[in-house]
Structure 1
Amino acid sequence: MNKKDVLLIAAASVVAAATGFATHAGLNAVLLFVLAAVSLVLVAMIVGKATEQLGSRMGPAATGVLQSALGNLPELFVCIFALRAGLDMVVKAALVGSILGNSVLVFGMAILFGGLKNGRQYFHSEPPKMNAVLMILAVAAMAVPTLTFYLHTPAESHLNKLDIIVAVVLLIVFGAYLTFSIKGDKAIIPDKNGETEEATWSLPTTLIILAASGVGAAFVSDWFVQALKPAMDSLGINDVFAGLIVVAIAGNAIENLVGIQLALKNKADYAVSVIMNSSLQIALVIYPLLILLSFFLGGAILSFVLSPLLLAALALAVLTSAFIVFDGESIWLEGVALIGLYIIIATAFWWG
């Protein structure tokens, strides 16, 4: 473990301790929210680093899936605590915002910075094409309950059951995808030897830090949600914008950093894999899992029913990123276009 890793762990511990103290001391809501957000980002960075160390022992195919899965851990905790607090609109917006953030903002920044440094970047197009198709199917699945609600079909009175069925189907699809990703056709899942870095932590150290980070993420997520509503009221931020932008960006700190760093290192295959896997796992795992858990958490019941603008923004983001990955190459101008789309969507939700 090098000096930077030690400093990161020390900084995360200090900020998390300060956040815990500030939470119990009842400090200013905005200050507490900023502290909690910084703590969440630092803990997410540690989870990402530990996952990268563990993944380097498991092979490249498993690494992308594992890194994205554990990278979404802080956001899962945030959404669970937010549901218990009755903030279901924040959770919906945060989940959609995570997909938007990864598919449009983070992907755009990775393409932009990677392209400016390395020129035109090339990646094996089959895995991201498969991800893109599954993302389109996931959006279509989410659209069914939404259309059922707004068109007042006979199934409207059975929305909870419809949500459960959609959630179970999406989880089954992810199970099939996971099996295919790890054991699938090598023509589709290419060997990325040379893109993953050698482990520098021992396995016991990696597991201990990963477990401690997971526990820390649970505490920090709880503090983050406690500070969220008072901070929103103080700053005049509505529920949808808070979830779509603030919570989504803080909860996806790992992909924000890792994807851009990999693109800068010209490891385009790995960068695209981490970024797109994160969006896919939000759509096929985190959202469906939270739907099912919401019936037992004792707070708000989550639904796949989205506002028309949220659903449209989600569909536009997924389709736009799909067009970019289908040719297996990217230029920095495409990154500018994606970032521009994200800014336009974010602006549309600023007023609610």
Structure 2
Amino acid sequence: MTSNDHHSGNLNVDFADPGSSVHTETPLRHDFATENATTTTVASPKMSSAARVNSRPDRENTLPDYEGPTGGVDNASGRRKQNKLLRLLRMASTRLKDQAKPERAIGAPPTLFQQFKSVIFMSWLNVLLVFIPLSWAFNFANLDNTLIFVFSFIAIIPLAQLLAYSTEELSTRVGQTLAGLINATLGNAVELIVAIIALVKCELQIVQSSLVGSILSNLLLVLGMCFFAGGTKFAEQGFAFSASQINTSLLTLSVIAVLLPAAFHLALEDTQTDPNSDARKAEGTDILAISHGVALILLFIYLCYLIFQLFSHKSLYDESNPENLHASTRYSPRSDKNTAIRNRLRHPFHGSTEKTPGLATTSSGNDIVGSPRPEAHEMTTPGSPRADVEQGLAEEDEEEHTPQLSVLFTVILLVVVTVLVAVTAEFLVDSISELTDTGVISKEFVGLILLPIVGNAAEHVTAVTVSVKDKLTLSLGVAVGSSIQIALFVIPFIVTLAWILGKPLTLLFDPFESIVLFLAVLTVNYVVQDGKSNWLEGMILMCLYIICAVTFWYYPGSNIADTITSGCDGV
């Protein structure tokens, strides 16, 4: 049997035994005999052309290996997946660069002397920085713990202000989203540092009461003063009502997470009279496990809250969007009110169709003498306070922002201030135990009332200042947003950290403190649900905080969590 194969124009004939599968290929032309003298090819009549080419040693194999019927498809699919992954990485990189880009153009950085000058004259609270070396000196000299506590307490206030100032400077260097993440991370740094130090020293009661007190201080004292300060200039102030409703829902959720362990304990308290019984120990183990699980869930909710606020629904938190805000109203000019009242007294029965600004009018056209109605300034009306604020913000956005600090100086300032806060807070926590052992003041009052003032001093000043400028949404973001961060991030983070360190910190707070916290959140929920505020609502919140402070002064406190979990001695 013969087979013709055309290679380079030469005709080859195969001679093979019919009973053998080996075919010997012999060239017809003699000039190729030497080249193929030692060449024998095992070939099948059905061998593919690619196989025959690859079987010839005299030819360089330049063709790709045979990959089967689906090899090319698999390679194409792999290339498509690789290209898709590269596109996603490029999109993520572009998105990150866009978020890192500041909202406004950044001017030239100031000189080193100007930066030091900006830090020194940043706030009048810097006068209190002299208490830092004094508190350290009193501590190393082992003086009276009352002096150490007072001086350390005062020293942390300007440090908290510097921490907020450096955080704000760092936020101006990046976009709005990353700025929000930075503020969310460093917004409650003082409370977090104090709580960590108290946790390491196993002052669990101070940890719990200080965090609850921070929420109460933000919701009642800070927010109340914002409403009151803004109410002295505006009859009513509007704010982002949709965002406020979401925030109060998150606060309610966090309070429920605190109340459930207390309810769990109270439900089993009547059946367990002996604190050393096995049932009481089992209850402590169960509450500790519940606290760990709930803490992880709260951290997940906080992550979802950040995504909601900074990415998916950040328009709800935009104060410049008129759809999110109610119109703020100013008080009517006093001269117009006096003129209207005098005209009404002179012509008590005279009907007129002329309307006096600030006074209500009946259907017959007569003015109603009474409490003047404040003039509403719609956000879309030119010349209104809200429109002036929006125009000022728009002009401010177009201008170039001149930073007061460079990036390197800001980072160094953050590190230095954080170290100073940590050391001073350690002296503060060390002096609390001996101070409260005298019986003059209780740990509950120190944690619930005094320590929150230290952490909220800077936020307090900022929130009140911007509320007078009719930026109440920003004030709520400072007060209510800080409370949400403590409830959904700081508290579960501290519980998780205690879990890692082997400290028996639980979400079983003092029942009385938990009830007060629930009532505070409930009151704030009613106050902000209409999206408007006035000075009376601010006065209500401040008076409620004073009532809580007076009550906690006489409250002896309880160590339920330590009793159940045997405290740090049982670890």
Q: TM-score, normalised by structure 2?
A: 0.58
What displacement does 1:240 show? 1.1
Q: Secondary structure at 1:120's aligned position in 2?
A: strand
- Structure 2 CA distance, aligned partners of 1:120 and 1:46? 33
Distance 1:117 1:201, change over 3 A: farther
Q: Distance in 1 between matches of 2:479 and 2:311?
A: 21
Q: Aligned residue for 1:23?
A: 139
Correspondence list, 1:32-47, <5 A: 32-47=148-163
Measured on the aligned residues, the alpha-carbon RMSD in Å equals 2.5
2:143 counterpart SS class: coil
> Does residue 420 of structure 2 align to residue 216 of structure 1?
yes
Partner of 1:312: 515
**Alpha-carbon separation, structure 2, partners of 1:103 and 1:64:** 20
Q: Distance in 2 between matches of 1:261 and 1:65?
A: 23
Matched, 1:136 2:252: yes
Is 1:322 aligned with 2:525?
A: yes
List gaps (5 residues or longer) in structure 1: none
The offset of 1:65, in angstroms, is 5.7
Three-state SS of the structure 1 residue aligned to 2:317 is: coil
Q: Please state if 1:303 is matched with 2:506.
A: yes
Separation in structure 1 between the aligned mates of residue 288 and residue 190 of structure 2, nearest angstrom: 26
SS state at 1:26 partner: coil
Select which of 341, 344, 347 maps to 2:544.
341
AA partner of residue 244 (structure 2): P
Task: Tell me the residue number matched to 1:127.
Answer: 243
Q: Aligned partners of 1:208, 1:188: CA distance in 2, in Å?
A: 35
Richer in helix (by share): 1
Counterpart Cα distance in 2 of 1:133 and 1:183: 19
Q: How does 1:175-214 map to 2 (within 5 A)?
A: 175-190=303-318, 192=320, 194=393, 198=401, 199-214=403-418
The answer for the alignment partner of 1:271 in structure 2 is 475
Judged with a 3 Å threshold, the aligned counterparts in structure 2 of structure 1 residues 107 and 61 are, in CA distance, closer, same or farther, namely farther
1 CA distance for matches of 2:213 and 2:512?
Answer: 12
Change (3 A) 1:145 1:63: same
- 1:80 is matched with 196
Deviation of 1:135 after TM superposition, in Å, equals 0.6
Q: 1:235 to 1:246 in 2, by over 3 A?
A: farther
TM-score, normalised to structure 1, is 0.91
- Identify the residue that residue 293 of structure 2 maps to in structure 1: 165
CA shift, 1:264, in A, is 2.4
Q: Secondary structure at the match of 2:522?
A: helix
Query: How far apart in 2 are the matches of 1:10 and 1:238?
Result: 30
More displaced stretch, 243-252 vs 54-63? 54-63
| CA distance 1:76–1:69, change in 2 (3 Å) | same
Letter in 2 for 1:182: L
1:121 alignment partner, SS class: strand
8 Å CA contact 1:96–1:314 kept in 2: the answer is yes
Q: How far 1:186 sits from its partner (Å)?
A: 4.3
> Aligned partners of 1:102, 1:62: CA distance in 2, in Å?
24
Structure with greater contact order relative to length (CA < 8 Å, sep ≥ 6): 1
Distance 1:273 1:202, change over 3 A: same
Structure 2 Cα separation of the partners of residues 312 and 276 of structure 1: 19
1:55-83 superposed Cα distances (whole Å, 9 cap, x missing partner): 23345565456435423111111112212
Decide whether aligned partners of structure 1 residues 343 and 60 sit closer, same or farther in structure 2, where only a CA change above 3 A counts: farther
Q: Distance in 1 between matches of 2:214 and 2:525?
A: 16
Distance 1:349 1:191, change over 3 A: closer
1:91 aligns with 2:207: yes
Which ranges of structure 2 fall in alignment gaps of 5 or more residues?
Answer: 1-114, 270-278, 321-389, 557-571
- Does the Cα contact within 8 Å between 1:64 and 1:270 map onto a contact in 2? no
Aligned residue pair count: 351
Contact kept? 1:71, 1:252, Cα under 8 Å: no
Distance 1:18 1:220, change over 3 A: same
Distance 1:31 1:73, change over 3 A: same
Q: Would the aligned equivalents of 1:56 and 1:63 in 2 still touch at CA under 8 Å?
A: yes
Deviations along 1:84-138, whole A, 9 cap, x unmatched? 2232112111111111100111100111112113442211112222111111011
Amino acid paired to 1:233:
D
